[in-house]
Amino acid sequence: MARRRQAVTIKHVAADAGVSLQTVSRVINNEANVRPEMREKVQASIDKLGYVPSIAAQRMSGSRSYLILALNDRERTIADWRARQGTDWVDQMLLGGMLECAEHGYRLIFELVDTHSDHVERELGAAIAALQPDGAILTPPHSDNPLILKTLAKHNIPFARIGAQAVEEGLPQGICVSMDDEGGARLATRHLADLGHRRIAMISGPSEYRLAGTRVDGWRAEMAEAGLDSGRLLEAGDFTYASGVRAARALLSRADRPSAIIASNDQMALATAEIAAELGLAIPADL
């Protein structure tokens, strides 16, 4: 039976280059306090031996973990996966995050955390203690959770908030990655009104997502500006396909059904198209 080739470690690199483990670690971590000739010597040994730095080696200096923690809502993520209806934007965010981390020698760790306030601090604290991440990425509704923001700030962990809204004064802001949710809803509503629609309905996201409320505000504001009544034209969803089915069926089964529907995400829009077809409504002729 052939023996498995021994993996090259940081010790092999140090021995080949004739330097200390700490020097190799400083080169791997791209620290500034390394002489150019020493950096070239260590890099030559890395290239010759085919050494691939491990997280453990990178952490020898003790300053960084080379881990980025991505937090997502446990209940909704598990429900989507069990229904085989994973949220596409989460998949895309994870892929983009992993690719970007890899370019810079980092690893992206995906953690599911309960939205409920009595669980958040305990679960997040345990993840921080175990992983000691260098940073965190927050997805809604965690992006706007004051307890999460305070916990990360307490541990001096920088964070980026995806789909974030402005938080109250005194709370750590982090880096916000967001879009104009209210403006987007207004544009969609205005477009439909310009096409001649007068009964424009909306399927909103769940109330715990602040961006869902902001989109509803934009829809209502544009309806009012166009002189259109928004009464009985709002149905609440929760960003899942199933909730979109329920909301679309409720709207399209009415005698005074809307002629246009704005769905707050792709899953609910797909569900709306499915129910329209089930009811014999053609898109865009009838809806």
Rounded Cα distance, 284 and 90, in Å:
29
242 and 208 within one domain: yes
**pLDDT in the model for residue 71:** 87
The total number of structural domains in the chain stands at: 3
Neighbours of 256 (CB within 10 A): 7
Q: Residue 204 pLDDT > 90, yes or no?
A: yes
168 and 113 within one domain: yes
Examine residue 53 and state whether it is found in any structural domain, yes or no: yes
195 and 159 within one domain: no
The better pLDDT of the pair 92, 132 is held by 132
Domain that holds residue 48: 10-61
113 and 192 within one domain: no
CB 34 within 8 A of CB 63: no
Q: What is the largest CA-CA distance in the chain?
A: 83
Task: Provide the pLDDT confidence category of residue 216 given band limits of 50, 70 and 90.
Answer: very high
Among residues 61, 80, 97, the one where a domain terminates is: 61
**pLDDT in the model for residue 2:** 47
Q: Residue 5 pLDDT > 60, yes or no?
A: no
CATH code for position 191: 3.40.50.2300
264 and 170 within one domain: no
Task: Provide the pLDDT confidence category of residue 256 given band limits of 50, 70 and 90.
Answer: very high
Q: Where are the beta strands (DSSP E) in 129-199?
A: 135-138, 159-162, 175-177
Instruction: Please report, rounded to a whole number, the percentage of residues in the chain having pLDDT higher than 70.
Output: 89
CATH code for position 37: 1.10.260.40
Examine residue 264 and state whether it is found in any structural domain, yes or no: yes
129 and 74 within one domain: yes
Q: What angle do the packed helices 10-17 and 21-28 form, to 10 degrees?
A: 110
> Tokens 């892929």 correspond to what residue?
95
Q: Residue 262 pLDDT > 80, yes or no?
A: yes
217 and 133 within one domain: no
Secondary structure tally for the chain: helices H, strands E = 12, 8
**pLDDT in the model for residue 263:** 98
The string of DSSP letters for 140-196 reads TTGGG-HHHHHHHHHTT--EEEET--PPPTTS---EEE---HHHHHHHHHHHHHHTT
85 and 22 within one domain: no
pLDDT tens-digit readout, 74-129: 777 776 666 655 556 677 788 888 888 888 878 899 888 876 666 788 888 888 88
Examine residue 236 and state whether it is found in any structural domain, yes or no: yes
The better pLDDT of the pair 239, 30 is held by 239
